[in-house]
Structure formats: structure tokens, C-alpha cells
Amino acid sequence: MCSYNRVNGPFACDNADTLKTILKGEIGFKGFVTSDWGGVHSVLFINQGLDMEMPGTLPAGSPLAVLLNSFFLTAPPAAPGAPPDADALAGILGGSIPEEPLPDPTHLGAFPRDTDGTTMREALKNGTVSEATITAAARRVLIVVDGFTVSVAAALAARIDENVLDYCVFGHCSAEHAHRALLTHLEVKPLLDLGMRLGEGSGAAVALSVVRASLGLFTDMATFEGAGVSEKSA
């Protein structure tokens, strides 16, 4: 996750030196980079190594909706929201306990003001963001699907775009009969089938260790040539 600060000039979520050159290049990070809430100030951040923005689209009635813009949108832009409510923001962003002195009032001027409202939809049209860049970012996001409820959500997403299943790993088959039937309908195989019913994402948490081990074997296993093993017979 990249945060709100600047690193040698650019914002942390817009810094190709740290995200692309160092993190993904030199260190070889294979995961995805997401922003902190409101850490994106332009759709062009995706060109500098950012893969996902948070929080995404906020409800129109949210007191944060005016301050936290969503840029990775492909739908037409919505109507502008109401001016920010300083009292509501103070309750979200600040607070104190009786033993502490009262905090300073919330200063809205401390938030960076986004001057470029271009969305992903518009950036694709004008060519400032390419489909190849979006595809590269999407390929870094692996969705580990947990349990019956989340599998239903994945099935609904697949009704909208069947390609979404290409990015999903179904962590386990729970003890519910409906879950097994749904996985069969989707023609997917879970990594684990242990009859788990603990809830709280525990199946995905266990499955994630299998995913990590698989990636480690795929990327770090030495070849005969790399390990210096001779293929010549004795």
C-alpha cells in the first residue's frame, strides 16, 4: 500500500521510482499495489505503478465523498456531491478520550485538492492510459474466494463478465451443500475440501498459504542448469 506522503517530489502512489523501478523491478514484488484511502489524485497514477485505488466509489451521502475522488471509473461521472460537512468529518477523522486535551479543529485545507477529474473512461478515450496498462494492473490482483457467500458474489460478477473467473482462486469448499453445487455450476475446483465451516474468512486464509507455496515453487525453484546439476549419465 502506498500512502499520502510525497517521495522526492511525486506522491507515493504516483512515484515510478519506488513503485516500478525499486518495488517491482529491483525487489521483484509480484503482488499488487493499492493506495490508501484518498491517496490517488489523478487517473494517471496507474501509469506509475499503482494497480488499485481505495476506497473506490463512495455513496453520494458520505461526508467523505467530496474529498475522496474515484478515478479508476469506467462509468459516466456522477453529479457533484454536497459541500463537505466539517462537523461530520471531524467525527470521522478525529476524536479524543476525556483524559486527552481537545484536538485542533479539522482543517480541510490540509487535504490535497484534486484539480484533474479525468476518469479511467475518459483517459482510455484520449489515450493517456492504455488498455495494456490496465490489463497489467489487473493481472497482479488475485482474488481468493472464500466460502458460499463470497462464491455467490463471484458468480454474480461472472454473469456481468465471465472473464472475472480468470482472476479467481476458490479457496475451499465449505460444508454447505449449496456451496458444492455452486462450485460445480461454475466449473471450478477449490484448492481445499476439508468440510470447513468456521467462517470469518478462515478458509481463504488457509488456502492463501497454498497459493503462496505454489508461487514460491513456480518462481523460486532452481532449474537443473541454475543449480549446476549435470544431466550427463555417470
Exposed, middle or buried, 51 (CB in 10 Å: 0-12/13-18/19+)?
buried
Catalytic residue among 26, 99, 100, 200: 200
CB 73 within 8 A of CB 58: no
Which residues are within 8 A (CB) of 23 and not within 5 positions of it... i.e. 6 or more apart?
29, 33, 49
Q: How far is CA 118 from the centre of its chain?
A: 20
The SS3 assignment for 90 reads helix
Annotated active-site residue 231? The verdict is no
The SS3 assignment for 114 reads coil
Report DSSP letters for 163-232, one per residue: GGGGGEEE-B--S-HHHHHHHHHHT---SB-S-----TTHHHHHHHHHHHHHHHHHHHPPPHHHHT---S
Which residues are annotated as catalytic?
200
